[in-house]
Amino acid sequence: MINDKNSQKIVDILQNWARKHSLFVLAYGTGCGAIEIPPTMTSRYDAERFGIRGAATPRQADVLLITGYLTTKTLKRVIRVYEQMQDPKYVIGFGSCTINGGMYYDSYNTIKVLDKYLPVDVYINGCMPRPESVISGIVKLQSLIAEGKANGAAKYKENLDWYRANQKKIIPNWVMPEYNW
């Protein structure tokens, strides 16, 4: 009965509605943007009223916030963190450094375009984005989840070879475990 197309649709809607209201953000900061997260989470801006909370480990988290510039050395760790996370999982690119390099456009060790290496669902621009824009970005992600459009993880699985080729281009010494989802 559940294989019926219409009932699957109803299940999806219910699933997305439930996922939307319980986003666990991994407490992992890569750049200077991580300093905007404590005010977002605490009493002044109180992101918890939108159902957003911090998570301690990648295996318990749903959202990976890339806060600011990402060096090639950190990218290696971020890829490991992202691959350990369980479905459903979403990536938010935070700050102009993840969009086009920002002020580090000519730096020798930071990546410029994040979505070549990881599937990004929402970008928040600004340098730095204020807690208001962080919250508006996460609310945007929630509306994408409700519409069923936040499918970055599925895209990553589909195009894994393309992502791997891009990642290996800047990480020549690839000693990483293969995670089997």
* Alpha-carbon separation of residue 81 from 4, 30, 63, 86, 89 (angstroms): 36, 12, 11, 10, 11
The torsion angle over the Cα atoms of residues 124, 45, 88 and 66, rounded to 10 degrees, is: 40
Q: Using the rule CB under 8 A, is 77 a contact of another protein?
A: no
Question: Which CB, 93 or 137, lies closer to another protein?
Answer: 93
Q: Using the rule CB under 8 A, is 4 a contact of another protein?
A: no
Name the minimum Å distance from CB 165 to another protein: 12
Name the minimum Å distance from CB 47 to another protein: 28
What Rg value do the Cα atoms of the chain yield, rounded? Answer: 17
Q: Using the rule CB under 8 A, is 175 a contact of another protein?
A: no
Question: Which CB, 72 or 136, lies closer to another protein?
Answer: 72
Question: Which CB, 52 or 81, lies closer to another protein?
Answer: 81
The binding track of 92-131 with respect to another protein, each residue x by CB under 8 A or -, is -------xxx---xxxxx-xxx--x---------------
User: Quick one: 28 exposed, middle or buried, by C-beta within 10 A (0-12, 13-18, 19+)?
Assistant: buried
Q: Using the rule CB under 8 A, is 173 a contact of another protein?
A: yes
**Is residue 157 within 8 Å of residue 32, measured between CB atoms?**
no
Question: Which CB, 43 or 173, lies closer to another protein?
Answer: 173
- Provide φ and ψ at 53, rounded to 5°: -135, 165
Please write down the long-range contacts of 176-179, taking CB distance under 8 Å and 24 or more positions apart. 176/76, 176/79, 176/80, 177/80, 179/83, 179/84
Question: Which CB, 9 or 77, lies closer to another protein?
Answer: 77
By CB under 8 A, name the binding residues for another protein. 72-73, 76, 99-101, 105-109, 111-113, 116, 166, 169-173
